[in-house]
């Protein structure tokens, strides 16, 4: 057992267990900018196979699942608890658990540098595809919200609805925006994590494969930035409705 892995495992168990408690607390009390009485986000953002990867609930499940797995490792009779702990965290959360944990685990799995870098590249591509799939769902919600905003403006102008009625309709859009912003932030965490992984590996030598990983990370970042732009555009249109 290396000192690096043991140090990482001690930090990891502290992180995931603390995160589990905090996230489970948030889940039970109901937090957020909109308050506990805010309407739930569009079901398309909280249900379905692509909802688990970048949503708040997905990250709660990630941290809580990792915490349980890491604790099991700590209490087990395993002769290599450090590797077990790091593997548990990475399996549950991937690079989102932290670049150092992720690198430690991949190094334990792939002593061959070329194979390890190929695995990094594969992981980035897989997460990029998840971003693409999630963006397609998000775009549907964004398009519908933009259409609803336009309708609210028309109804206000023609006095079909008053400000109180408009506020109720806008509240659901606000919930969607908050959800989307949270997911974009989680996506950006993944991008940053992979970039940090490259820095760690490059410190050991500038292998040719790292350039391809950089290119893959750049593609992922472009997809995330594109979704960020769409969410910002939705927020801008929603902000044009003044109900003060």
User: Is position 244 within any domain?
Assistant: no
Nearest to 137 by CA among 18, 6, 48: 48
DSSP state of 52: T
Q: Is the dihedral of CA 144, 146, 150, 156 positive or negative?
A: positive
Question: 10 Å Cβ neighbour count for 156?
Answer: 17
Look at residue 98 in the predicted model and tell me its pLDDT.
Answer: 81
Look at residue 66 in the predicted model and tell me its pLDDT.
Answer: 56
Look at residue 64 in the predicted model and tell me its pLDDT.
Answer: 62
pLDDT tens-digit map of 147-158 = 999 999 999 999
Report pTM: 0.78
User: Is position 34 within any domain?
Assistant: yes
CA-to-CA dists, residue 54 to 100, 104, 224, angstroms: 21, 23, 11
User: Is position 226 within any domain?
Assistant: yes
Look at residue 27 in the predicted model and tell me its pLDDT.
Answer: 38
Range of the structural domain that residue 64 is part of: 3-239
Number of domains in the chain: 1
CA distance 101 to 83: 10
User: Is position 50 within any domain?
Assistant: yes
CA distance 50 to 135: 10
Burial of 89 (0-12, 13-18, 19+ CB in 10 A): buried
**Contact in structure between 59 and 190 (CB atoms under 8 Å):** no
Look at residue 55 in the predicted model and tell me its pLDDT.
Answer: 73
Q: Which residues of the chain have pLDDT under 50?
A: 1, 6, 9-10, 13, 15-34
User: Is position 224 within any domain?
Assistant: yes
Look at residue 156 in the predicted model and tell me its pLDDT.
Answer: 93
Look at residue 38 in the predicted model and tell me its pLDDT.
Answer: 81
User: Is position 199 within any domain?
Assistant: yes
User: Is position 163 within any domain?
Assistant: yes
User: Is position 150 within any domain?
Assistant: yes
């Amino acid at each position: 057992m290396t000192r690096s892995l043991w140090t990482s495992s001690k930090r990891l168990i502290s992180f995931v267990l603390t995160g589990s408690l905090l996230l489970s607390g948030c889940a039970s009390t109901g937090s957020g900018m909109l308050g506990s009485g805010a309407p739930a986000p569009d079901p398309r953002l909280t249900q379905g196979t692509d909802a688990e990867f970048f949503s708040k609930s997905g990250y709660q499940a990630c941290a809580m699942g990792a915490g349980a797995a890491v604790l099991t490792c700590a209490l087990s009779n395993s002769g290599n608890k450090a590797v077990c702990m790091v593997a548990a965290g990475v399996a549950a959360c991937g690079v989102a658990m932290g670049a150092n944990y992720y690198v430690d685990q991949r190094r334990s799995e792939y002593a061959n540098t070329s194979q390890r870098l190929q695995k990094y590249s594969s992981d980035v591509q897989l997460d990029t595809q998840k971003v693409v799939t999630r963006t397609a769902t998000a775009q549907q919600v964004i398009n519908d919200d933009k259409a609803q905003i336009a309708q609210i403006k028309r109804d206000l102008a023609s006095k079909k609805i008053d400000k109180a009625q408009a506020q109720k309709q806008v509240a659901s859009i606000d919930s969607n925006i908050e959800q989307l912003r949270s997911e974009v932030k989680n996506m950006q965490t993944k991008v940053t994590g992979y970039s940090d992984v490259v820095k760690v590996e490059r410190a050991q030598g500038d292998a040719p494969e790292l350039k391809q990983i950089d290119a893959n990370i750049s593609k992922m970042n472009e997809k995330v930035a594109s979704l960020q732009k769409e969410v910002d555009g939705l927020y801008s249109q929603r902000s044009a409705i003044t109900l003060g």
